[in-house]
Amino acid sequence: MAGLEEDVDRWMPGSKVQQGVEIVIEQDHRPVAVLKPSASTRPGRKLSECIAMAKAYEAKFGYAPIPDEDFAKDVQAGIDSRRDSFEPPAWD
């Protein structure tokens, strides 16, 4: 995942996804993934920011942050709340 944003910008100048364009990724002429703008109105946080926060926490307190017992459930709830059903476009 490292460098993904830079790769996307290189592949799609001006980051068309940020402009609202939906990109369909195909393999053997079949859609396998869709890149589209997030429907979330919340800004979110990049994984790199989360890692930096965890490292800062560890440096400050001397131990790494430990997820609580409900962490996995919270992550799954977040994934489920943003999951869209994939409806491939009809091809002519």
Residue pLDDT, tens place only, 16-60: 666 777 778 888 888 888 877 777 666 678 888 988 999 999 999
Instruction: Please give the residue range of the domain that contains residue 46.
Output: 40-82
Residue 3 has pLDDT above 80, yes or no: no
Of the two residues 82 and 65, the one the predictor is more confident about is 65
| Same-domain check for residues 14 and 28 | yes
Question: In whole angstroms, what separates CA 22 from the centre of its chain?
Answer: 15
User: pTM for the complete prediction?
Assistant: 0.36
Question: How many structural domains compose the chain?
Answer: 2
pLDDT band per the 50, 70, 90 thresholds, residue 78: confident
Residue 90 lies in a domain: no
| Same-domain check for residues 63 and 32 | no
pLDDT at res. 12: 57
Phi, psi for residue 32 in degrees, rounded to 5: -120, -20
Q: Residues of the chain with pLDDT > 70: what percent?
A: 67
